[in-house]
């Protein structure tokens, strides 16, 4: 086995590891988006049933929804790179 074939095999391993790393990072960010949605958005909707006019609860739900969308778009960007 020559030096060239060893270098080529090493490069293939590096590409594979980089691909797996990017996929895992994308999955992690998607999981963060799901957790934020479940905790903040769904958890913030329940207090709205008792007091719809409370702006603090509305801001929590809206910010959680925005963070969920932002993280989902970022995860999608990571995975498409």
**Distances in whole angstroms, Cα of residue 24 to Cα of each of 19, 27, 29, 31, 40:** 9, 5, 9, 10, 24
Indicate whether 1 pLDDT > 80.
no
pLDDT at 35 over 80: yes
What is the rounded CA–CA span in Å between residue 46 and residue 62?
Answer: 14
Mean pLDDT of 51-57: 88
63: pLDDT confidence band, cut at 50, 70 and 90? very high
Average pLDDT, the chain: 91
Output the pTM of the full model: 0.80
Q: What is the pLDDT of residue 3?
A: 86
- For residue 17, the model assigns a pLDDT of 95
Extract the tokens encoding 54: 């409370």
48: closest CA among 30, 33, 72, 64? 64
């Amino acid at each position: 086995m020559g030096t060239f074939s060893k270098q080529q095999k090493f490069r293939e391993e590096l590409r594979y590891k980089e691909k797996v790393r990017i996929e895992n990072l994308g999955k992690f960010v998607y999981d963060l988006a799901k957790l934020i949605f479940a905790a903040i958005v769904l958890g913030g909707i329940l207090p709205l049933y008792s007091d719809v006019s409370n702006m603090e609860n509305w801001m929590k739900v809206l910010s959680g929804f925005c963070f969920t969308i932002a993280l989902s778009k970022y995860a999608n960007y990571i995975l498409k790179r």
